[in-house]
């Protein structure tokens, strides 16, 4: 008997679907309402970035001051005016939907058999029957043929009566809210009931089937295909054959704007320009292009990007003064420079991996495209892949450090051009091109020639924000019986003064409108094998910061290994710290002799020898050792 209630009252239970649907939607809307409420509060009480001089260290040279003011206006206008208005509209929209859902939920009453039959829980069975008879006659479908609400009411009256006149069903309803007892867990789709009335339900199911079977799979396949066009960092894989073709150990720094500007990313950018003017500007820089570039089918978007980069690094002296395309180049300059910074980072990673490639497998999995697209341009037939040297990687790092400051990459010792300059200053810089940036910062000494510059005060302001780096290196050696010597490089990098702890704010730049993070690279170069063993990018957020790095190197060779350890800033040209390290690599036999010698001389125990000479626990005393000692 009890099992029949679910079947008999299936239609009446569907009336409760509306409540579930609106409650579910209201919960989702509440999340959006809270999110946009917090966003609006942040916008209203918005603080301009790096505005608090007690918290941030900003560059106060005249160039950075003016640019920072423009940056603040741009940020304020971008974040407060337009975005605040949009966020308020979205907040009000979701709030309206939330209120509407709440009202709908309130109109859907919880099923209460006593309320439906208009009786109280204490009324006897006779009154229940009397009320049922009265209400069923009133709402019977035969008397209310055109009233759907009366029909629904009649179904609820019957359900309520069946529950209250069956003791088991009544008891189950009190305990579980269900006349059939606890039952089983049912999962359904919370959708409003009106969607399934009449012929509408068929079309709703048809739409769901169309979405699940056709639309969603197509979207997934398109996403998957599009995702395979990029590497993990977002670089278009079509760029790899292009980079492999033009980038090699003979590449000049003046060719890098062309190589980067040829990237496929620029074809996806929305840029307005006059094709005739852009082609004329592009051709004016042709003497710096790779010799075989004529074979490439270069799009106007790539011509535009290449021209912007050359104008950024070399100036516009080569461009005819009456060419109106210069204004077009300046319109999207920041967008192209920003994307180029990402592309340079990817070029640096590729060059580093190809510098180390021959140390590992002869077919590096990440660069299978190399063999497919560049069989005719390989440098090393044994590996079928280019091996980039250390000098090329250093040139790429130098190129990146110049992009923030628009220094002339053709100038000798162009590091000084990162300071505010004019024509007179440039001439003075040329005469003092042997001055190193490290001398101006690390030694903190006053150069007399600086006083002759027009904007000496600006240069002093820049010197105040340029970082002072220190690097300490400790090397530990441990012998492993089945592996060899393990050398651990512990590198500690310190930035700034411990007594001046502030966040880095608006950094110095001659010609880059947006702010950027202060970055540097740590490199361990193996002089014996002519390869980079360790390569790590680090970022600084505070004026005083300590970075700890660790690198492990395993070797069994009995020779003196020479290493050069570099700390290279890519935010400020010329900031380079170099340390030369020599390591005497000892094989097991050499360590054994040390053990015998010191054991015989100082009567060291095996535990003392392990501690003093860095030998691991697998190194044990043998009969051969005792024979030598005796």
3-49 pLDDT, tens per residue? Answer: 444 444 444 444 445 566 777 788 888 999 999 898 888 777 766 66
Q: Which pLDDT score, from 0 to 100, does residue 372 have?
A: 39
Q: Which pLDDT score, from 0 to 100, does residue 559 have?
A: 66
In a domain, 389, yes or no: yes
Cβ(477)–Cβ(616) below 8 Å: no
Q: What is the chain's percent helix, strand, coil content, to nearest 5?
A: 55, 15, 35
Count of other CB atoms within 10 angstroms of residue 225: 9
Q: Which pLDDT score, from 0 to 100, does residue 528 have?
A: 81
Beta-ladder partners of 534: 524
How many whole angstroms separate alpha carbon 281 and alpha carbon 558?
A: 58
| Residues 547 and 563 both lie in one domain | yes
Q: Which pLDDT score, from 0 to 100, does residue 383 have?
A: 38
Indicate whether 549 pLDDT > 90. yes
| Residues 109 and 67 both lie in one domain | yes
| Residues 496 and 368 both lie in one domain | no
Domain end position, chosen among 403, 422, 456:
403
Torsion of CA 490, 495, 496, 502, to 10 degrees: -120
| Residues 260 and 381 both lie in one domain | yes
| Residues 385 and 350 both lie in one domain | yes
Mean pLDDT across the chain: 76
Top pLDDT among 320 and 209 is at 209
| Residues 24 and 138 both lie in one domain | yes
Top pLDDT among 71 and 544 is at 544
Half-sphere exposure of 118 (CA within 13 A, CB side): 8
| Residues 220 and 267 both lie in one domain | no
Domain count, the chain: 5
Measured at the CA of 314, the angle between CA 340 and CA 447, to 5 degrees, comes to 105
Domain end position, chosen among 349, 370, 403:
403
Indicate whether 256 pLDDT > 90. yes
The residue-averaged pLDDT of 249-255 equals 90
Beta-ladder partners of 521: 537, 568
How many whole angstroms separate alpha carbon 346 and alpha carbon 260?
A: 10
In a domain, 435, yes or no: no
The structure tokens listed for 39 are 């966003």
The residue-averaged pLDDT of 53-61 equals 80
The enclosing domain of 556 has a CATH number of 2.60.40.150
| Residues 572 and 596 both lie in one domain | no
In a domain, 428, yes or no: no
By C-alpha distance, which of 159, 179, 160 is closest to 169?
A: 179
Query: Order of strands, edge to edge, in the sheet holding 560-569?
Result: 531-540, 518-526, 560-569, 576-584
Q: Which pLDDT score, from 0 to 100, does residue 194 have?
A: 58
Query: With pLDDT > 90 as the criterion, what percentage of the chain qualifies?
Result: 13
Range of the domain at 221: 198-227
Q: Which pLDDT score, from 0 to 100, does residue 200 have?
A: 65
Domain end position, chosen among 207, 227, 247:
227
In a domain, 192, yes or no: no
Give the distance from CA 9 to its chain's centroid. Answer: 55
| Residues 325 and 356 both lie in one domain | yes
Highest mean pLDDT among 185-189, 193-197, 488-492: 488-492
Indicate whether 317 pLDDT > 70. no
Banded pLDDT at 197 (limits 50, 70, 90): low
pTM of the predicted model as reported, rounded to 2 decimal places: 0.67
In a domain, 461, yes or no: no
The residue-averaged pLDDT of 267-282 equals 84
In a domain, 438, yes or no: no
The terminus-to-terminus CA distance of the chain in angstroms comes to 99
Q: Which pLDDT score, from 0 to 100, does residue 442 have?
A: 56
Residue that the structure tokens 């066009």 belong to: 229
| Residues 289 and 349 both lie in one domain | yes
Indicate whether 230 pLDDT > 70. yes
How many whole angstroms separate alpha carbon 449 and alpha carbon 446?
A: 9
Top pLDDT among 66 and 343 is at 343
The enclosing domain of 324 has a CATH number of 1.10.3380
pLDDT tens digits for 159-183?
A: 888 888 888 877 777 776 667 666 5
Query: With pLDDT > 70 as the criterion, what percentage of the chain qualifies?
Result: 70
Q: Which pLDDT score, from 0 to 100, does residue 196 have?
A: 58
Please give the radius of gyration of the chain, using alpha carbons only, rounded to the nearest integer: 38
Instruction: Characterize the bridge pairing of strands 56-57 and 545-555.
Output: unpaired
Q: Which pLDDT score, from 0 to 100, does residue 13 have?
A: 46
Indicate whether 554 pLDDT > 80. no
| Residues 16 and 101 both lie in one domain | yes
Q: Which pLDDT score, from 0 to 100, does residue 258 have?
A: 94
Phi and psi torsions of 479, nearest 5°: -95, 130
How many whole angstroms separate alpha carbon 4 and alpha carbon 158?
A: 13
The residue-averaged pLDDT of 196-200 equals 61
How many whole angstroms separate alpha carbon 594 and alpha carbon 479?
A: 13
| Residues 561 and 625 both lie in one domain | no
Indicate whether 382 pLDDT > 50. no
3-state secondary structure 423-474: HHHHHHHHHCCCCCHHHHHCCCCCCHHHHHCCCHHHHHHHHHHCCCEEEEEE
Q: Is 320 left (phi over 0), alpha (psi -120 to 50) or beta?
A: beta
| DSSP character at residue 141 | T
Half-sphere exposure of 332 (CA within 13 A, CB side): 18
Q: Which pLDDT score, from 0 to 100, does residue 218 have?
A: 92
By C-alpha distance, which of 451, 453, 383, 381 is closest to 417?
A: 453
How many whole angstroms separate alpha carbon 159 and alpha carbon 138?
A: 16
In a domain, 448, yes or no: no
Indicate whether 315 pLDDT > 80. no
In a domain, 595, yes or no: yes
């Amino acid at each position: 008997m009890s099992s029949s209630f679910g079947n008999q009252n299936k239609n009446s239970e569907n009336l409760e679907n509306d409540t579930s649907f609106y409650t579910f939607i209201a919960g989702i809307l509440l999340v959006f309402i809270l999110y946009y409420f917090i966003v609006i509060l942040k916008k209203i009480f918005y603080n301009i970035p790096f505005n608090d001089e007690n918290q941030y260290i900003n560059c106060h040279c005249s160039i950075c001051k003016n640019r920072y003011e423009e940056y603040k206006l741009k940020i304020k206008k971008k974040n407060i005016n337009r975005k605040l208005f949009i966020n308020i509209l979205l907040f009000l929209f979701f709030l309206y939907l939330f209120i509407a859902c709440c009202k709908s939920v309130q109109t859907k009453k919880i099923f209460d058999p006593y309320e439906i039959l208009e009786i109280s829980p204490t009324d006897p069975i006779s009154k229940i029957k009397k009320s049922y008879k009265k209400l069923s006659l009133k709402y019977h479908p035969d008397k209310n043929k055109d009233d759907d609400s009366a029909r629904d009411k009649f179904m609820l009256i019957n359900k309520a009566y069946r529950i209250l006149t069956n003791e088991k069903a009544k008891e189950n309803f009190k305990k579980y809210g269900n006349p059939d007892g606890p039952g089983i867990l049912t999962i359904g789709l919370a959708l409003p009931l009106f969607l399934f009335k009449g012929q509408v339900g068929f079309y709703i199911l048809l739409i769901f089937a169309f979405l699940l079977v056709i639309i969603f799979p197509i979207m997934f396949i398109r996403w998957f295909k599009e995702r395979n066009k990029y590497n993990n960092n977002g670089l278009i894989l079509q760029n790899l054959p292009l980079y492999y073709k033009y980038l090699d150990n003979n590449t000049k720094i003046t060719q890098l704007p062309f190589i980067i500007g040829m990237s496929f990313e620029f074809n996806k950018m929305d840029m307005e320009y006059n094709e005739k003017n852009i082609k004329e500007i592009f051709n004016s820089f042709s003497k710096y292009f790779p010799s075989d570039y004529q074979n490439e089918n270069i799009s106007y978007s790539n011509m535009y990007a290449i021209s912007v980069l050359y104008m950024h690094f070399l100036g516009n002296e080569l461009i005819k003064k009456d060419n109106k395309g210069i204004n077009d180049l300046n319109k999207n300059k920041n967008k192209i420079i920003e994307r180029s910074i990402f592309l340079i980072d990817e070029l640096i990673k590729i060059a580093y991996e190809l510098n180390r490639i021959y140390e590992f497998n002869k077919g590096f999995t990440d660069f299978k495209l190399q063999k497919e697209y560049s069989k005719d341009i390989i440098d090393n037939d044994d590996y079928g892949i280019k091996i980039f040297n250390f000098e090329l990687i250093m040139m790429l790092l130098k190129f990146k450090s110049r992009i923030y400051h628009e220094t002339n990459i053709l100038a000798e010792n162009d590091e000084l051009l990162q300071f505010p300059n004019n024509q007179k200053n440039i001439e003075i810089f040329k005469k003092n091109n042997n001055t190193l940036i490290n001398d101006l910062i690390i030694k903190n000494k006053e150069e007399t020639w600086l006083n002759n510059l027009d904007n000496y005060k600006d240069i002093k302001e820049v010197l105040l924000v340029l970082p002072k780096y220190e690097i300490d290196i400790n090397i530990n050696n441990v012998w492993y019986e089945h592996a060899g010597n393990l050398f651990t490089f512990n590198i500690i990098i310190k930035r700034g003064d411990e007594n001046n702890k502030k966040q880095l704010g608006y950094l110095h730049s001659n010609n880059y409108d947006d702010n950027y993070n202060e970055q540097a690279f740590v490199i361990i170069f193996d002089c014996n094998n002519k390869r980079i063993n360790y390569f790590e990018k680090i970022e600084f957020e505070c004026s005083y910061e300590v970075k700890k790095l660790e690198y492990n190197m395993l070797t069994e060779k009995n020779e003196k290994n020479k290493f050069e350890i570099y700390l290279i800033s890519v935010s400020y040209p010329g900031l380079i710290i170099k340390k030369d390290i020599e390591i005497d690599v000892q094989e097991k036999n050499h360590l054994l002799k040390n053990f015998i010698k010191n054991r015989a001389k100082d009567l060291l125990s095996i535990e003392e020898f392990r501690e003093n000479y860095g030998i691991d626990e697998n190194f044990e005393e043998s009969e051969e050792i005792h024979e030598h000692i005796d």
